[in-house]
Amino acid sequence: MSKIQSKSAEYSDNLKSEQIGIMNEVADKVRSAGRTVREFSDDTQEKVMELREAAESRLRANPLSTSAIIFASGIILGAILRRR
């Protein structure tokens, strides 16, 4: 009986060690995924800001053209919505 208990305790210890190892691997993967998501988010936010600044500078550089395009878009959109 003692031999069975000894083997059982050994298997239990091995199982606990494996569980801890798996939990550590999962935690590492989650941390890595979190870093990747943060990096992607930061890069995307930077690109959006760059695009916004570029659009603003183009609008400020050509205010007359911008106004004409917005006016024409409004007329076209109004005509489309009236037909429905």
Q: How do the pLDDT tens digits run along the chain, 84 residues long?
A: 687 888 788 888 888 889 999 999 999 999 999 999 999 999 999 999 999 999 899 889 999 998 999 999 999 999 999 987
Residue 11 CB-half CA count within 13 A: 6
CA count, 13 A, side-chain hemisphere, 80: 6
Q: What is the pLDDT of residue 68?
A: 93
Give residue 5's pLDDT: 80
Sequence-ordered list of residues with C-beta below 8 angstroms from that of 59, at least 6 positions apart, any chain: 66
15 CB neighbour count, 10 Å cutoff: 10
Q: Which two tokens stand for residue 56?
A: 């603003």
